[in-house]
Homo-oligomer: A and B are copies of this chain.
Amino acid sequence: MIPRVKYEPRARDGSARRGVLHSRRGLIDTPAFMPVGTAGTVKAMLPQEVAELGAQIILGNTYHLSLRPGTDLIADMGGLHKFMAWPGPILTDSGGFQVFSLAGRRKLSEEGVSFQSHLDGSELFLTPERAVQAQEYLGSDIMMMLDECPPPGADHDYAKSSLERDCRWAKRAIRARGEDSGALFAIIQGGMYKDLRAMSAALLTALPFDGYALGGLSVGEPKEATWEMLTHTIPLLPPDKPVYLMGVGEPEDLVTYSGLGVDMFDCVLPTRMARNGTLLTAMGRLNIRNRRFRNDPGPVEEQCGCYTCRTFSRAYLRHLFMARELLAYRLNTIHNLYYILKLMENIRRAVESGVYSEFSRRTLYNLKADDNE
């Protein structure tokens, strides 16, 4: 199988690495954060604004797009890139995570998983092949295989049979992929069991995937457990392939896990928090609803170079948020995405300069100051 992405290493500092991922729609500096554009839009933002903030790749959710407006419709409209006017790389998930979150409304078999649409209750059936096909309809540049996301507390037996099924699904996904379609990433599972993580890694790295994601982490378990699984699993992955930690986006985690060798992250956190009035800063989180900001003429963050901070006061942002003005969500999103994408840039620089452990220590210390709340 021809690799559809190519990972080029640039620098290393301890376990952290800085590289470039070449995709068919442009390069991605890693470690990279991918803003989430669930329904064909990074909420409240124009695609060109997302690019100007420094994003080189975004994530689309196949589950949401399949239900509305439909991946076939998007294909008819020329694919997701054209539909949403984002010319850069797009990574899509398989839809599995959302389906497996539909507790009580889905049924798993060897063939796939049947579920009810959360929009209209209609019965749907997702298989490894259909997951690939849906992502191909979208025109995805990096597709994810369908895997089961076992419940957080799954026991060893359950986790083992689940990852074994994943491996059979992985082979079906590879067979289903068309010649001209995007890259395909595997998802390492295995719960919180080191032996199972190793087993999953061994089975999946034997297959011709273009990259490896770590699934089932940061879904509620203690951070120490995630840390332990990552330090154990990442060294088992091929060094010439990108490593993707799914669903992680807290600033602390981006710093810590980049330090362990993760290359790619995605999370709704910065954009969702923005819409809830929580702003990310180097000194921790700031709740813009706080009454003490009502007449605060200063920006959200003094040193921040984002449009929001360069233009508006905390008093104005608080006013917009309290008045539920649409502009509030937009200005907050600009700030939070700028913050996260700048953090990734600083992470990459620190690796290049060989000062990662000092950078990490200082950044985490400041974040814990949390003098905003």
Chain A residues close to B by CB (< 8 Å) = 39-41, 43-46, 68-69, 73, 76-78, 83-85, 294-295, 297, 311-313, 315-316, 318-320, 322-323, 325-327, 329-330
Contact = CB atoms under 8 A, between A and B. Distances in A.
A319 B85 contact: no
Contacts of A45: 327
Contacts of A78: 297
What secondary structure prevails in chain A residues at the interface with B?
loop
A36 to B, nearest CB: 13
Q: How many copies does the complex hold?
A: 2
Contact of A294 (B46, B69, B325): B69
A311 B41 CA distance: 13
A111 to B, nearest CB: 30
A326 B318 CA distance: 19
Given A73-B294, A78-B297, A326 B330 contact: yes
B68 A319 contact: yes
B68 A327 contact: no
Nearest to A329: B326
Contacts of A327: 41, 43-46
B326 A295 contact: no
9 contacts: A41-B320, A43-B326, A68-B322, A69-B319, A76-B295, A83-B313, A83-B315, A83-B319, A85-B312
A78 B298 CA distance: 12
A46 B318 CA distance: 16
B44 A326 contact: yes
Contact of A330 (B315, B318, B330): B330
A311 B297 CA distance: 36
Contacts of A41: 320, 325-327
Nearest to A48: B311
A327 B84 CA distance: 11
Nearest to A42: B327
Contacts of A297: 77-78
B323 A73 contact: no
Given A39-B319, A69-B318, A73-B295, 9 more contacts: A39-B320, A44-B327, A68-B319, A69-B294, A77-B295, A77-B316, A83-B316, A326-B326, A326-B330
Contacts of A294: 69, 73
A316 B78 CA distance: 11
A-B residue pairs, 10 tightest by C-beta = A44-B326, A69-B319, A41-B327, A39-B323, A85-B311, A41-B325, A77-B315, A83-B316, A43-B326, A326-B329
B313 A77 contact: yes
